[in-house]
Amino acid sequence: MALPYRRQAIYWGMAGAVFLVVLWYLGPVLLPFLVGGAIAYILDPLADRLERLGLPRAGATTVITLVGVTLLVLAVAFLIPLLVQQLTALVKAAPDYFAALRDWLGTRFPDTVGEDGFVRRGLSDLGEAVSARGGELAQSLVAGLFGVVNALVFIVVVPVVSFYLLLDWDNMVARIDDLLPREHAGRIRDIARDIDSTLASFVRGQLTVCLILGTFYSVALMLVGLQFGLVVGAVSGLITFIPYVGAIVGGSLAIGLALFQFWGEWWWIVAVAGIFMFGQFFEGNILTPNLVGSSVGLHPVWLLFALAAFGAIYGFVGMLVAVPVAAALGVLARHGLRNYKESTLYTGQAEPPPPILEDLTSHRRTD
């Protein structure tokens, strides 16, 4: 006899509650394993492609791991220190930029930027707040990334976990499929495929778009000589997954810095604006259609809510699991809405009797 649906819902609800409790208590310990699993998931298609080219799974995994570790060492040695240095310098220089903006406004709008003007007080307070809070934010960001667990352990464990998960990924998927409840295996596979499609489109595709745009903005801004160009490019690329926000925030920050640095040399200011215009054209017409697709199924507002909620509850670990959980809940909601629209609760009409019963009824009436 099949297990009642109410009892099945209770069991699955208990499993979800256990997952949340484990995530709450073991979050810092799970961090390198979650990061390693995410890396293995992102790189699995590349390993499959190398297998199709003739490499064994172990060889493909080894090649990917060596390239990844090399890039990580180069980033830690050169890129990350420069990024932290520019971020710290930008935070320290913020009061000077706000003071210059206050003086510029004072020469043109003396009434609003007088000694007691609200603009003068607001800009002064904002500059001091950015200088004070910005330093704390930079320090907490670095501490959050490297202080959750020992940095050395993190750097060692993540590549090892990624290597073994990537090596055995297909076997793990097959074992999980074998453990699915037989009654709902087909439906679970359909939902899992939709979740994988959503994650593949968003995580793999959007991560590639963010990396390409962040690299382009950083290199281009540094080539035109903009101070803090690396930080501005990194920030712009990091928030590119939110439509238009990355370009607006990054472009406003870059053009504002360019106005202070290149005042009077208008061609450099135009060049900075042109970099973001070209980046948006390249992203909207080439990168996103080819790497992400036209329909991802993960709304930016829903994603931001999931990141904020899980980040507030579980910290940095929660932000890592927010995207897959948001994708899973979104897919489950779409499946639930589809079933609801096919139900009598939505249509308001009773289901017609089966054809066999109709035939038997008509036959008895004839007799």
Q: Which helix (H) or strand (E) holds 59?
A: helix 57-74
- Is pTM, for the whole model, over 0.75? no
Weakest-pLDDT range from 48-62, 77-91, 94-108: 94-108
What is the rounded CA–CA span in Å between residue 243 and residue 249?
11
Q: What is the pLDDT of residues 336-352, one digit of tens each?
A: 888 778 877 777 765 55
User: Are 233 and 217 contacting, i.e. CB atoms less than 8 angstroms apart?
Assistant: yes
CA distances from 224 to 91, 184, 236, 268 (A): 21, 58, 17, 7
**Tens digit of pLDDT for each residue in 115-129?**
555 555 555 555 555
pLDDT of residue 148: 45
Alpha helices in 239-315 (DSSP H): 245-261, 266-282, 300-314
pLDDT reported for residue 149: 45
- Taken in order 204, 210, 216, 222, the sign of the CA dihedral is negative
CA distance 23 to 309: 14
Q: Mark 183-209 as b/e (b = at least 16 C-beta within 10 Å).
A: eeeeeeeebbebbebbbbbbbbbbbeb
| C-alpha to C-alpha distance for 318 and 148, rounded to whole angstroms | 13
Q: Which two tokens stand for residue 21?
A: 């409790």
Average of pLDDT values for 275-284?
A: 86
pLDDT at 357: 47
In DSSP notation, 296-347 reads -S--HHHHHHHHHHHHHHHTHHHHHHHHHHHHHHHHHHHHHHHHHHTSHHHH
Cα gap 207→246, rounded to integer Å: 13
Pick from 109-123, 191-205, 322-336: least confident: 109-123
Structure-model confidence comparison of residues 95 and 297, the more confident one:
95
AA letter at 81: P
Residue 135 corresponds to which amino acid?
G
Contact 191, 331 (CB under 8 A): yes
Q: Which residues contact 175 (CB under 8 A, 6 or more apart)?
A: none
More confident residue, 173 or 362: 173
Place of tokens 């980033």: 75
Residue 258 has pLDDT above 60, yes or no: yes
Most confident of the following: 10-24, 89-103, 108-122, 308-322: 10-24
Please give the Cα distance from 30 to 34 (Å, whole number). 6
Give the Å distances, CA to CA, from 359 to 274, 349, 351, 356.
Answer: 73, 21, 16, 5
Q: Tell me which residue of 125, 116, 63, 75 sits closest to 98, measured CA to CA.
A: 125
- In angstroms, the CA 41 to CA 162 distance is 9
